[in-house]
Amino acid sequence: MQLKRFSEAKPYEAPNHRAYSSLRLFGAEAGGTRTLIAGVSHFLPGGGAGPDASPPEKIYFVLEGELTVIVGGKETVLKKYDSCVIGSNEDREIINRGNDVCTIFVAVAPVK
């Protein structure tokens, strides 16, 4: 087992994101796994990512606040403890339209 204390998580920059802060928990430069990248992202009101698409599958799990996810022109609001899967190369945009910070857990399957 490899333990990661939240206080030890390091920030990272994600492309095409705005008004956010992300912390890498495992995978990529954080190590610990080669088959998954895991992190926590905080989106300020008005913050978000996209619209864009990328090869890896993604899971978003809302820990606090609300997140609007737009896929194929359809908007869905994820609330605390809701989650979704974004498929490989699926065009998506995420936006925090609320007045509170939205915090999500993100899991990404790296492309091999």
Cα–Cα distance list, 23 to 65, 70, 71, 73, 81 (Å)? 17, 23, 25, 29, 19
Give residue 13's identity as a one-letter amino acid code: E
CA neighbor of 57 nearest in space, from 45, 67, 71, 44: 71
Radius of gyration of the chain (CA): 13
The domains of the chain, with CATH numbers, are 8-108 (2.60.120.10)
Per-residue pLDDT of the chain (112 residues; tens, 9 = 90+): 999 999 999 999 999 999 999 999 999 888 898 899 999 999 999 999 999 999 999 999 999 999 999 999 999 999 999 999 999 999 999 999 999 999 999 999 977 6
Beta-bridge partner residues of 108: 37, 58
The structure's pTM equals 0.94
Q: DSSP letter at 76?
A: E
